[in-house]
Amino acid sequence: MDQSVTGPAATAATPVGTWTEELLLERGTYTSTLRFTPNGRTLLLAGPRPGCVGAGSWTATGPGRFSFRLAELVFDPDGTFTGWVDIEQHVIQTGDTFTSSGVSHVYDAGDRLLERAEVAARGIRRA
């Protein structure tokens, strides 16, 4: 899959664009907004908690499949950095929807591992 191709025809076959993602965890369901760029970057525009953002990369792994990895920065309500989440997802994309699964590792501000979580998600491309 050519990640450098841009335009309407490319976005139907690649994740390029902005997506609303519903995260499914044992403790609940959360929503985030992701953007996949034509040059393989992944941006977390709005995380499941207010003020959370992040960045990473995506790679095509086969027809209708890609993986992404990103670091989500976590802040408390007054803007203090409290930790980060290492997110890795393996995705099956069908047009403007996807399902994914992977593992997230949650760290505190001192880089101590607090939690390892299995995460499933589903996404829809925004118009």
**pLDDT confidence of residue 99:** 98
Please give the tally of structural domains in the chain.
1
**pLDDT confidence of residue 5:** 40
Mean pLDDT per block of 10 residues along the chain (127 residues) reads 41 88 91 96 91 94 97 94 97 97 97 96 93
Domain presence at residue 2: no
Residue 87 maps to which CATH number? Answer: 2.40.128
Domain presence at residue 37: yes
Q: Which domain holds residue 38?
A: 8-125
**Which residues neighbour 44 within 8 Å (Cβ) at sequence distance 6 or greater?**
32, 33, 34, 52, 53, 54, 55, 56, 70, 72
Predicted structure pTM score: 0.86
**pLDDT confidence of residue 11:** 53
Domain presence at residue 82: yes
